[in-house]
A and B are shown apart, each in its own frame.
Chain A
Amino acid sequence: MTDLANIQFNAEGFMTDPNQWTKEIAEVLAKQEGVETLTEAHWKIIEFCRATGLADGKSPTLRQITVGTGISTKDLFALFPKGPAKKVAKIAGLGKPEGCV
């Protein structure tokens, strides 16, 4: 079991330093979010979010994920039930996705 004791989280459970993230941490966080096993499809999305999130300095929106990965919104909800953008951001060690303004 990966130890989360040294990892910093904010009040809403998002990691505050994306550099502390590892694949092992992702697996633990996924279980906390109700995603028992991370399949290849899950990883494709997580890796896309890591890449764009680190490049842009913010978590991608649902639409950026669907356009960027080619995975439909419906399938995203099946992989990460109830709010995939927020769930993936959490599992990928990124901040909360910005809403609109």
Chain B
Amino acid sequence: MKTFLILGAGTAGTMMAREMAHALDLNQWKVIVVDKEEQHYYQPGFLFIPFGYYKRDDVVKPIRSFIAKGVEYVVSNIEALEPAENKVTLANGRVIQYDYLVIATGTDIHPEETEGLKDGGWGENIFDFYTYNGAAALAPAISRFQGGRFLVNVVENPIKCPVAPLEFIFLADAYFTRKGIRDKVEITYATPLPGAFTKPVAAAALGKILDEKHIHVEAEYNTGWVDPSRNTLVSYDERELPYDLMVSIPLNKGAAFLGAAGIADELNYVKVDKHTLQSTEYPNIWALGDAANIPASKAGAVIHFQMGTAVKNILAHMAGKPMPDAFDGHALCYIETGFDKATLIDFDYTHEPFPGKYPMPGVGPFDLLGQTTLNHWGKLAFRYIYFLMMRGIEVPLPNKFSMAGKRA
């Protein structure tokens, strides 16, 4: 028997396990997926939890319900990967020898890496919304908030879902407005980027929305440390931002065992070829989703678009054939802009987000870079579509980026 091992049963690991259970002869192959969790999180839904729009049951479901038939699911932390030996040691003591390995262990927040963040005010007047627990703890704090300085801060890039901080701010603006206290709240967004977003056309469009909503952007802000005694965030160039309530997006890093295995960059993201998604160090290792160091957004839609490429390339590699497919870096993101509207961006490695229309059979077209109610419903509908996809029901979204409907 040969072993196809998948580390991580999140969005990418779950999809890959199903694909391989279908594509491989299970009389010859054992497909194993390992995850430290027993729960699957719909992570795009975390954004809505602090405002009370989603509850736990909307975003948390048992992993077991998404694991395809014929796949062995193991719950354990991962102790070590020894790629030269094709060997993974689990925290529960089990050792797994693999023939092929797919790494899909994602990315996590590390507030402890910023002085004063975790060890001063965390859970009191400093929160995150990148974990379920963080988002749930933030909900009562936002509901209690009666006004003052509301600071949202990105410590360092890259982060998972680079538009999420903006969406969070737009939703907060709408929430405080509806509550009748917006005039008492000073909203500041401190980001290491020169503006609202990385890609110029979208940055200008999103920057304009921030302006209209009277949100102050503190750009090129490299977070240094937090001084909890004065409730003040300080940058390395010593710009001080006082806060009454801070929502921080801490440093994001991949799993530590990947760095120790010598196959990852300084943030523990696995080094892969950005087109084939194969490890640059070991030919029987692939990395998908947030765990890979490709210059694409760390987002669920990107995983969906990657999956076809990865599956075709892995199967070709097994058959000793040249890898037939190249991932183009395609990302598609609905961005909540508040007041039940959303905008949409669609881009890849070489094309930045352009305005125009995104054609979608049956429901579209959706407005690219425009704020519409239909986009908002698209975003909300996506939660249902996501859970269908995790159960193996395909959605008709083309994997490759296309200029159709866009104005360059």
- Residues of chain A touching chain B, judged by Cβ–Cβ distance below 8 Å, are 62-64, 67-68, 73-74, 76-77, 81-83, 98-101
Contacts and interface: CB of A to CB of B under 8 A. Distances in A.
B305 to A, nearest CB: 14
A81 B222 CA distance: 12
Interface stretch (B21-29, B143-151, B154-162): B154-162
A101 B224 contact: no
B133 interface: no
Contact of A63 (B266, B296, B329): B266
B267 interface: yes
B322 interface: no
B267 A63 contact: yes
B236 interface: yes
Given A63-B266, A77-B236, A81-B237, A100 B159 contact: yes
Interface residues of B, number: 23
Scoring A73, A74, A99 by chain B CB atoms within 10 A of each residue's CB, the highest score goes to A99
A76 B199 CA distance: 27
Contacts of A98: 295
Contacts, number: 46
Interface in B312-347: 329, 331
Interface of B: 156-159, 162, 192-194, 198-199, 220, 222, 224, 236-237, 265-267, 295-297, 329, 331
Nearest to B302: A101
B60 to A, nearest CB: 28
Contact of B236 (A68, A74, A99): A74
Contacts of B199: 101
26 contacts: A62-B156, A63-B156, A63-B267, A64-B265, A64-B266, A67-B266, A73-B222, A73-B224, A74-B236, A76-B236, A77-B224, A77-B237, A81-B237, A82-B220, A83-B220, A83-B237, A99-B157, A99-B194, A99-B198, A100-B159, A101-B158, A101-B198, A101-B199, A101-B296, A101-B297, A101-B331
Contacts of A68: 266
A82 B193 contact: no
Contacts of B236: 73-74, 76-77
Given A67-B266, A82-B220, 16 more contacts: A63-B266, A64-B265, A73-B222, A73-B224, A77-B222, A77-B224, A77-B236, A77-B237, A81-B237, A99-B157, A100-B162, A101-B158, A101-B295, A101-B297, A101-B329, A101-B331
Nearest to B251: A63
B217 to A, nearest CB: 14
B237 A100 contact: no
Chain B CB within 10 A, most for which of A76, A81, A82, A101:
A101
A74 B224 contact: yes
A99 B193 CA distance: 7
A85 to B, nearest CB: 9
A55 to B, nearest CB: 13
Interface centre among B237, B266, B295, by most chain A C-beta atoms within 10 angstroms, is: B266
A100 B197 CA distance: 9
